[in-house]
Each structure stands twice: as structure tokens, then as C-alpha cells.
Amino acid sequence: MLHRREQFTYQVLQLLDAFLLAVALFLAYSLRLLLAPLLHSRFLAEDIGPFADHLWLLGIILPGGPLLFEFQGLYRLDSSYRRWTVIGRIARGVFYLWLLILAVIVLFHIPSTEVSRGVLLFFIPTAIVLIALREQAFRIWLLRRGESVRDVQNVMLCGSLEQRKRWRWSIEAVPDRRMVVRAEIDLRTDSPEQFLTLLHRESVAVVVFEIDPSLHLQTAEAIRACENEGIEAWVAADFIATTMTHPKFDLFLGRPLLVFRTAPEASWPLLCKGAIDRVGAFFLLLFFAPVLLAISAAIYLKEGAPVIFSQSRSGRHGRPFLMYKFRTMVTEAEQKKEELRLFNEMSGPVFKMEHDPRVTPLGRWLRRTSLDELPQLWNVLQGEMSLVGPRPLPVTETERFIDFAQRRRLSMKPGLTCLWQISGRNSISDFADWVRLDLEYIDTWSLWNDIRILCKTVPAVLLRSGAK
């Protein structure tokens, strides 16, 4: 099914799930009233107010539930549907929603008189059952709709025998059985008259074209024939061989474009990431203000000025920016770097040395605790960095890249922490492994993955995992 149709289906399912989660809250409240006297549990013996006292929970459940289900991959309309896999996704989504509610209760000190523990307890199984029933009903509806003759779309495949085989397999693998291949044609051997005859005889609604550069004129003529008769024409974009890019159709000043991109495209999750970066950096700077002042005073009193070390780093797409850190080395560190290059412990263009003589005693402690990175929150607030993203390298090291494919790590905004940061940091001595982790982050990016990395960064920093 086309992307726009999938998006519409996702939105309908998300609205329906939000409604069902609200129903689950009401049912949980009703179950608490009915079953608590029968179970004789101290946990459920609390006084419970009217249902109106629990309506504030809808402010968390309605937006949070569908979003968490999306992070769990519940709305993927793929052919790899397995009942227990989907139930697992639903259960995880409901559990994380429950944890989010508890976090709000603890954070805002909401009294027990405004929310019943029994209601929260009954909400988990009730929500899982309702969403699971909705998902099962949706899958049954997809199959039955595909079996209805009036809803079936007849499809014609245009291309070589191998190309048509691949398309037939792909169409038959889609859970939505609305599309049936009724005709196939090869524009190399078949005439335009045969194309039109099949188009009319089979009542074709969609024609799928595989582009062959040698058949450009024939393909263009066939597409115009579809245009004249109001029939959809799908043009496969895999005639340009790519391995990692995600092709998308777009418009620029009214001109149609086929866009190939490897980094995440502009979207609501990416917009949320930017908002979380700015807001998070602002509050973290306020929270750590006393620590920042104390470290600044300690460096100034022990090592003298300057307190802050700034260096030109490669930002998104290699654009240089000044990154800030607390100074952890002697003032002439950059001049001594070339003298120590023979002792480099990291393969590739990056310089890393465990017992770097340029590092001051206070700087060594700051590096072990990662407190030297705190000034980069200003870079995040400025929009030059993100809380999560590939670590920015000095411009001089980026210029030494021999394998230009490694520059793909520059396709996303650099960050304070990333997979490399929580995977041993300085214990990684091969730059290729570092790049592999960065590219894995880019290729699998999601807002949920960012939150997971942030959560893992805290214990990694506190336990000093891989820090030297």
C-alpha cells in the first residue's frame, strides 16, 4: 500500500487506540469498585473518589499511549505479523505508559487521594486486552476487505520477467489483500496496443513500471496513457542502485524530485528531538550551575586561565563550530600534540592516548567523571549540538579521513553522548568500530532510541565505564 494510505491508516489506528485507552481507564475504575470488596486486599482498601478525580490521567494517556505504541512498532503493516510478537509490543507500550504515569505522580507529588493505586493496577491488563482485541479485529478486517471483490484493485506489472516476479511476491506478501496482479507486460517485446488492450480488458487500477533507460520513450508513452485514463502509475525508484539510502518523492518549486537520503528526514519525532535538546540543555545548565561555578573556580585557582577550552569541531555535514569544554590540559597542549602522535592508541585519524602527559591532575579527574563535557550544554542550547548524536571530531581529524564513507557520521548533528559513549568509550581503540557504532545509531535512529541512550549514559558516567 502506498505511503500516504499507510499514514492515514496509522492516524486512524492511533486515534482509536487513544479512545480505547480512555475506555480502559474507565473500566479499570469500574473493576476497582466491583472487585476490591471481593479480594479483601489492603492494597485495594484505600478510599476511592469519583471517576472525575482520575480524568487528569487522560492528559498523559491520550497522547502518550499511541506515541509509545509507535515506538514499539505496533503500527507496522508488514507481512511478518506474529500474534505473540504484537502482544509483546502492546504489553511493553502499556507498561511504559504506566511507568510514565508513576513518574508524573512522583515528580509532581500528586497525593493518593487524586489517583487510586487499584485503578492503576487494573489499568495494565485492561488496556492490553482492549488494544490486543483492536489489533486482532484490524487484521481480520484487512483480510476480509481483501477478499471482497468490490474493494480489490487490479494491478498490471510492466518490466522484465525477474522484475515482475519480485513485484508479484511483494504485493502478495502485504497483509492488505486489496491488490491483485491481473496482467503483466514487457515493453521490450509487447506493443503499445497490447498494453492498452490489457489495461481495458482487466479493468486495471494501478500500473507498476520498472524503469529501463533503453525504454524511456515507451515508458513515458505508457505513463501518458495511464494519465489520460485516470489510472495510477507507480514508477519503481530502484533503477538507481543504492544500498543504504531511503528514496522519497518530493516537490521543489513545483518540480517533481526523487530524493535519496540516509539520515532521518524532517519529521515530528526529529522536531521533538530538537525541542528536547534545547529545553533539556536549558534546565541542565540551571541544575548544574553550582557545579559549573565550582569547577571553574577550581581550575582557575589550581591551573590559572583560561578555564574554558574551545576548539573548532566538525558539525553537521562538516560545518565547523566552536565546541566548549573545561580545560583539562596544559595551555600549550595543541603545540605538543604532534610530538606525541607516535604514541597514539587509536587507529585512524583520531588521536587518543591513555596516559597523556598534557593532562593536568584536576583534568584527569574531570575526564574520568565526564564533568569536563558540561560546557557543551551551551553548544546544545545554541543548536550546534544535540544531547544524543555522534561525538564531534576536531576539524583537523575530519580532514584526515581516508575512507570518505566515514563522513556519513556527519549527516546528523553531533551530540554529547551516543552509542560509543555507552559502549566502553576509551576502551574502543579501532576508529572503524567507533564509526560503525555512529552509523548504526544513524541508520536505526528513533526518539525512543535517544531516550534509551540518555538513560544508559547516566550509569555509564556514574560507574565511569570505559572512562580514562
Mean model confidence pLDDT for the chain: 82
Using 50, 70 and 90 to split pLDDT, how confident is the model at 128? very high
Query: Which residues are paired to 308 by β-bridges?
Result: 326
Confidence at residue 242, expressed as pLDDT on a 0 to 100 scale: 61
Extended beta strands in 262-306, E state: none
Residue 322: CB atoms within 10 A of its CB come to 12
Tell whether the model's pLDDT for residue 256 goes beyond 80: no
Distances (CA, A) of 242 to 246, 247, 259, 262, 439: 9, 9, 12, 10, 16
Confidence at residue 149, expressed as pLDDT on a 0 to 100 scale: 46
Tell whether the model's pLDDT for residue 152 goes beyond 80: no
Confidence at residue 435, expressed as pLDDT on a 0 to 100 scale: 86
The residues near 147 (Cβ < 8 Å, ≥ 6 apart) are 177
Burial of 420 (0-12, 13-18, 19+ CB in 10 A): buried
Confidence at residue 279, expressed as pLDDT on a 0 to 100 scale: 93
431/467 Cα distance (integer angstroms): 17
Find the helix packing angle between 268-287 and 289-303, rounded to 10°: 60
Using 50, 70 and 90 to split pLDDT, how confident is the model at 416? very high
- Going from N- to C-terminal start, the domains of the chain cover 3-146, 152-239, 268-462
Query: Is 152-239 CATH 3.90.870.30?
Result: no
Tell whether the model's pLDDT for residue 79 goes beyond 80: no
Three-class secondary structure of residue 325 per DSSP: strand
Confidence at residue 392, expressed as pLDDT on a 0 to 100 scale: 92
Confidence at residue 235, expressed as pLDDT on a 0 to 100 scale: 80
Query: Taking the model in full, what pTM does it have?
Result: 0.59
